[in-house]
Amino acid sequence: DLGVKAGIVEKSGSWFSYDSTRIGQGRENAKEFLKNNPDMAASIEKAVRQSTTKIADDMLGAPEPDEGQDLEG
């Protein structure tokens, strides 16, 4: 589910795909596929973690120059 929300895993109708590979039709079949293909599951997990880290960094990053700072002195 996080993979879809992060745009890592594609969902088309009831099909889930990753990197042009169909993972499964329906959530349960996709989960079963990933259990049987741990390398792909690890790749998806890594991509999701990187994506969420970037989103968190963007959200918690430094404020824009005009936010809460008086640049004129």
- For residues 17 and 8, give the distance between their C-alpha atoms in angstroms, rounded to a whole number: 9
Task: Return the structure tokens found at 63.
Answer: 């404020």
- Is the Cα torsion angle 61, 66, 68, 73 positive or negative in sign? positive
In the chain, what are the domains?
A: 2-53 (3.30.250.10)
How much is the pLDDT for 66? Answer: 59
Task: Name the 3-class secondary structure at 31.
Answer: helix
Predicted TM-score (pTM) of the model is: 0.69
For the segment 32-65, what is each residue's pLDDT rounded down to a tens digit? 999 999 999 999 999 998 887 776 666 677 555 5
How much is the pLDDT for 31? Answer: 95
